[in-house]
Chain A
Amino acid sequence: MSFAFSVPLASLPPGGAGRLVAIHGGRGSALRLRRLGLRPGALVRMVAAGGWGGPVLLEVDGCRVALGRGLARHILVEPRGPSPRDGH
Chain B
Amino acid sequence: MATDRRGAGKEGRSLPRVALVGQPNAGKSTLFNAIVGYRAVASNFPGTTVEALRGRANIGGRRGEVVDLPGTYSLLGGDLAERVTREFLLSGDVDAVIQVADASLLGRSLALTLELAELGIPMVLCLNMMDEAEHKGISIDVDALADLLGIPVVAAVASRGQGLSELLASLPAAKPARRPPYAADVERALARIAATLKGDPGAPIHRAAQLLGGEGGQAALDPQTARAVEEARAELSQGRGEDPGVILADERHAQAMRLFEAVARVGQPQVGWRERLDDVLMHPVAGYPFLVLILLGLFALVFWAGGAVEGILSPWLDGLSGRIAAALGTGPLAALLGGAWDGLGAGIAIVLPYLVPFLLLLAFLEDVGYMPRVGFLLDGLMHKVGLHGKSVIPFLLGYGCTVPAVLATRILDDERDRLVTAALAVMIPCAGRTIVIMGLVGRYVGPGVALLLYVGNVAVVALAGWVLTRLLPGEGPGLILEIPPYRRPRAKNLLGKTWLRLKGFVMLAWPLLAVSSGLLALAEALGWARGLNASVRFLTWPLGLPSEAGVPLVLGILRKELSLVMLDRALVGGVAALTHAQMIVFTVFVLFYVPCLATVGALGKELGWRRTGLVVLGTTAVGLLLGAFVRLLV
A residues at B contact (CB < 8 Å):
27-37, 39, 47-55, 57, 61-71
Given A33-B480, A53-B380, CB of A68 within 8 Å of CB of B108: no
On whether the beta carbons of B283 and A48 are closer than 8 Å, the reply is yes
How many Å from the CB of B9 to the closest CB on chain A?
Answer: 29
| Interface status of B626 (Cβ within 8 A of chain A) | no
Of the candidates A39, A61, A68, the one whose C-beta lies within 8 Å of that of B379 is A68
Question: How many angstroms between the C-alpha atoms of A59 and B529 in the bound complex?
Answer: 63
On whether the beta carbons of B250 and A66 are closer than 8 Å, the reply is no
* 29 residue pairs bridging A and B, Cβ less than 8 Å apart: A27-B214, A27-B243, A27-B246, A28-B77, A28-B477, A29-B478, A29-B480, A30-B243, A33-B480, A35-B73, A35-B74, A39-B250, A50-B287, A51-B288, A52-B383, A54-B381, A54-B389, A55-B379, A55-B389, A61-B105, A61-B108, A62-B136, A64-B482, A64-B485, A66-B376, A66-B480, A68-B383, A68-B478, A71-B477
Question: How many angstroms between the C-alpha atoms of A33 and B376 in the bound complex?
Answer: 16
| Identity of the chain A residue whose Cβ is nearest the Cβ of B25 in the assembled complex | A63
Give the interface size class of chain B.
35 or more
Given A34-B246, A34-B249, CB of A51 within 8 Å of CB of B377: yes
On whether the beta carbons of B482 and A50 are closer than 8 Å, the reply is no
| Interface status of B87 (Cβ within 8 A of chain A) | no
Question: How many angstroms between the C-alpha atoms of A55 and B249 in the bound complex?
Answer: 25
On whether the beta carbons of B481 and A37 are closer than 8 Å, the reply is no
B residues at A contact (CB < 8 Å):
73-74, 76-77, 104-105, 107-108, 136, 214, 243, 245-246, 249-250, 253, 278-279, 282-285, 287-288, 372, 375-381, 383-384, 388-389, 413, 477-485
On whether the beta carbons of A32 and B480 are closer than 8 Å, the reply is yes
Which of B76, B246, B250 has the most C-beta atoms of chain A within 10 angstroms of its own C-beta? B246
Residues on B with C-beta less than 8 A from A50 are 282, 284, 287, 376-377, 379-380
Of the candidates B136, B246, B483, the one whose C-beta lies within 8 Å of that of A65 is B483
Question: How many angstroms between the C-alpha atoms of A40 and B376 in the bound complex?
Answer: 24
Residues on A with C-beta less than 8 A from B378 are 54
Of the candidates A28, A29, A37, A55, the one whose C-beta lies within 8 Å of that of B108 is A37
Of the candidates A39, A55, A71, the one whose C-beta lies within 8 Å of that of B376 is A55
| Identity of the chain A residue whose Cβ is nearest the Cβ of B102 in the assembled complex | A63
Please classify the interface of chain A as helix (H, G, I), strand (E, B), loop, or mixed, using the class held by over half of its residues: mixed
Residues on A with C-beta less than 8 A from B379 are 50, 54-55, 66, 68
| Identity of the chain B residue whose Cβ is nearest the Cβ of A40 in the assembled complex | B250
How many Å from the CB of A69 to the closest CB on chain B?
Answer: 8
Residues on A with C-beta less than 8 A from B246 are 27, 30-31, 34
On whether the beta carbons of B413 and A34 are closer than 8 Å, the reply is no
Residues on B with C-beta less than 8 A from A36 are 73, 480, 482
On whether the beta carbons of B481 and A66 are closer than 8 Å, the reply is yes
| Identity of the chain A residue whose Cβ is nearest the Cβ of B106 in the assembled complex | A62
| Identity of the chain A residue whose Cβ is nearest the Cβ of B257 in the assembled complex | A61
How many Å from the CB of A32 to the closest CB on chain B?
Answer: 5
Which of B214, B284, B377 has the most C-beta atoms of chain A within 10 angstroms of its own C-beta? B284
| Identity of the chain B residue whose Cβ is nearest the Cβ of A41 in the assembled complex | B250
| Identity of the chain A residue whose Cβ is nearest the Cβ of B480 in the assembled complex | A32
